[in-house]
Structure 1
């Protein structure tokens, strides 16, 4: 006699260390099955938080993976807020539309809430997926391909006081990490590093270089103190007119304009190179105001960090606001029902509070829109123009939109 029952939703289990290789292989297959170096596998193993990583099992078949990192993210005002860095998400092609992803995301968000993390963040391989779980595109990455044979730089005062020298990347990792750590409070979206993350930028498998050099590093020094660094690769090329090499920037951090200027001057002037390419840079990075011809830099922007408020009250109270704000939000949240309802946000540049209320709402929106605007990038006004935010009290939208802004563009500085 036949059964009318459909297939069961796979069971979620916390990842055991002995299952890591199988779990990781499933993830790699789901992301196209390309060749990945042993070094990358071991790095991922060392950074994985096993108690926050899940496998979805259909009997003895592993059919889904997901996990989270325990981060702290800078928010407007400079506070570091506990954040679940959602990562390693995959579902087997044999188990689509079985509720696997929804089950894993629900578990990850519930766990983050239980841990007291007001925020969650991720990088989306497919942006269409995560909006339905309340994640909004909160930051942008700047990409550029600069014709350094034609573009010159107008450098800031003090640049000539900076010494730039080559260094083995691993030999100066602590000095570079100190520069990065000093920058974290300055820009919303930046992530404070847990132990081990300082070495993630040193990964350099030979089969991943695509014909370019091994990873190179220079540090910028003032009076013997490291005030900036750049990690990059070079690839020599030759054309009918001579050299046509490319510098690919992997990372650059500097504490002040002069240190930045010295590093950019070095990258623009490497022998035999005529193109500087970069990706994943801040949307408002200062070099755009130093170049002689921005059109020959072929810039473009792309969505980057996605943010979700796991605890609306705690998240909105954790940041500061550019201008005084007193507004009641009516929030929809299907994935985290504890957020749904009315919240009164009162705040300014010194601090904020956000509490439950029964007062009449001023703005109506979903938690996705709050995540999009939270770090001060996309505005509530632009979301309202798209029909995503409704103004219920005249003037409330402009008030809140200006208050949510940030003096600098938010930037999630690295993948995870």
Structure 2
């Protein structure tokens, strides 16, 4: 029987999602997670591959708006998600056909970029995605590590609040932070509720989700932390751990006050946080960075779908005039030579040109450099970018670089 690809009908959602669970190991999601993802699914952007009555392949996308270098308006982006192929139908071109249809649809819909988090990063490079942002995990021994806090920290008031009741204030803080750091999605309706997902089966013995808010002198909420406490006991006494989900704040004093609170929770001896920015200010507050054990992994992968629109939508750190010779076999409309110019204010324009190229690279490397965290110079050192005109690499690398590391604060 021939395989059939079709746009998802919500009547088929349960079968479609059951397939996805199987593709990711067969462990059922909690009812809370399942219902949340059902509510967030955009059926018109969701694809299924069917073998008779069986769903054997899936891919979906969320309609995101993503912050980019320059601090301007977030850029429309397709948040690629729920990609899976049944183990019975591997190596039959199912994934390639899904990626082909999806990127064609993204282009037709006017989104310049697609982004994803990869369960297996090796898969997506062949479709033009480049690793553009990393995430940091930290594990701090709070019996040996202290914090040096900035002036004003003692003036910050902290209050424990029910996470659901605090959500509107927390979302206002988050919204103000989006423009400050590339890679952050401006939250669309419904996405705020994902931050509150807290099924008991996912806690691993830890407490329900807790929330502490930081307030300024006028009572305005200027920061928040969401966390769980995992109590534990040894013969010598307590050995609890604080599991940090989110810490966001509008100014350094509030940020430090929240971390000081997390470090000082009674009967706990360590703080663990996952998915932090790689340049997290916490690393400059701790007294002993060696006992703040860190681990870095890939987080956000970027694919330029409409190359001139994407490069023209972000800001640049320096004036730029460079001709890029771009390879893109999967989306050939991006291939060829492009002249990218940016003025002193960072405003950019990208157009086709017949001029001689200054740099040669693939669309994957442009995706990696797009959010300003991966430099073109470092990619060139790995042999992935070729300098064709002396001096062009240094100028372009400086212009593409950002002031802060890009960061994806939550998965999708």
Query: SS of 1:76's equivalent?
Result: coil
- Aligned counterparts of 2:333 and 2:239: Cα–Cα separation in 1: 57
- Aligned counterparts of 1:402 and 1:130: Cα–Cα separation in 2: 27
Quote how far apart the aligned CAs of 1:174 are: 0.7
Quote how far apart the aligned CAs of 1:241 are: 2.8
- Aligned counterparts of 1:59 and 1:22: Cα–Cα separation in 2: 12
Query: SS of 2:179's equivalent?
Result: helix
- 2:231 — aligned with what? 236
- 1:358 — aligned with what? 354
- 2:9 — aligned with what? 16
- Aligned counterparts of 1:254 and 1:339: Cα–Cα separation in 2: 39
Give TM-score, length-normalised by structure 2.
Answer: 0.98
- Aligned counterparts of 1:397 and 1:241: Cα–Cα separation in 2: 58
- Aligned counterparts of 2:68 and 2:173: Cα–Cα separation in 1: 19
Quote how far apart the aligned CAs of 1:376 are: 0.6
In the alignment, structure 2 segments of 5+ residues that lack a partner are none
- Aligned counterparts of 2:135 and 2:176: Cα–Cα separation in 1: 21
Query: SS of 1:323's equivalent?
Result: coil
- Aligned counterparts of 2:95 and 2:28: Cα–Cα separation in 1: 25
Q: Is 1:43 equivalent to 2:43 in the alignment?
A: no
In the alignment, structure 1 segments of 5+ residues that lack a partner are 1-6
Query: SS of 1:408's equivalent?
Result: coil
**Residue from 77, 82, 85 that aligns with 1:91:** 85
Which deviations, in whole Å up to 9, do the C-alpha atoms of 1:137-194 show, x marking residues without a partner? 1001010100011100000111011101100000111110000000000000000011
Quote how far apart the aligned CAs of 1:334 are: 1.3
Quote how far apart the aligned CAs of 1:378 are: 1.2
Query: SS of 1:131's equivalent?
Result: helix
Quote how far apart the aligned CAs of 1:253 are: 0.8
- Aligned counterparts of 2:26 and 2:181: Cα–Cα separation in 1: 35
**Residue from 52, 55, 66 that aligns with 2:48:** 55
- 1:255 — aligned with what? 250
What is the 5 A alignment of 1:190-269? 190-222=184-216, 223-269=218-264
- Aligned counterparts of 1:194 and 1:356: Cα–Cα separation in 2: 34
Does the Cα contact within 8 Å between 2:318 and 2:346 map onto a contact in 1? no
Q: Is 1:324 equivalent to 2:319 in the alignment?
A: yes
- 1:3 — aligned with what? none
* Stretch of structure 1 that moved more, 89-98 or 52-61: 52-61
- Aligned counterparts of 2:236 and 2:398: Cα–Cα separation in 1: 51
Q: Is 1:154 equivalent to 2:171 in the alignment?
A: no
- Find runs of 4+ consecutive structure 1 residues off by over 3 angstroms: none
Query: SS of 1:27's equivalent?
Result: helix
Quote how far apart the aligned CAs of 1:240 are: 3.4
- 1:4 — aligned with what? none
**Residue from 273, 282, 302 that aligns with 1:287:** 282
- Aligned counterparts of 2:88 and 2:201: Cα–Cα separation in 1: 30
Q: CA RMSD in A?
A: 0.9
- 1:388 — aligned with what? 384
- Aligned counterparts of 2:353 and 2:249: Cα–Cα separation in 1: 44
Quote how far apart the aligned CAs of 1:305 are: 0.3
- Aligned counterparts of 1:58 and 1:109: Cα–Cα separation in 2: 23
Q: Is 1:409 equivalent to 2:395 in the alignment?
A: no
- Aligned counterparts of 2:287 and 2:248: Cα–Cα separation in 1: 22
- 1:65 — aligned with what? 58
- Aligned counterparts of 2:289 and 2:233: Cα–Cα separation in 1: 25
Query: SS of 2:279's equivalent?
Result: coil
* Stretch of structure 1 that moved more, 29-38 or 247-256: 29-38
**Residue from 74, 78, 95 that aligns with 2:67:** 74
**Residue from 376, 384, 392 that aligns with 2:372:** 376
- Aligned counterparts of 1:18 and 1:214: Cα–Cα separation in 2: 33
Which deviations, in whole Å up to 9, do the C-alpha atoms of 1:289-322 show, x marking residues without a partner? 0100000010111111000111110011111111
Query: SS of 1:202's equivalent?
Result: coil
Residues paired across the two proteins, number: 409
- 2:179 — aligned with what? 185
Query: SS of 2:315's equivalent?
Result: coil
Which deviations, in whole Å up to 9, do the C-alpha atoms of 1:310-362 show, x marking residues without a partner? 11100111111111111001111111111111110001443110011111111
Query: SS of 1:251's equivalent?
Result: strand
- Aligned counterparts of 2:302 and 2:43: Cα–Cα separation in 1: 23
Give TM-score, length-normalised by structure 1.
Answer: 0.97
Does the Cα contact within 8 Å between 2:228 and 2:242 map onto a contact in 1? yes
- Aligned counterparts of 2:252 and 2:305: Cα–Cα separation in 1: 36
Which deviations, in whole Å up to 9, do the C-alpha atoms of 1:258-315 show, x marking residues without a partner? 1101100100000000010001001111011010000001011111100011111001
- Aligned counterparts of 2:99 and 2:409: Cα–Cα separation in 1: 24
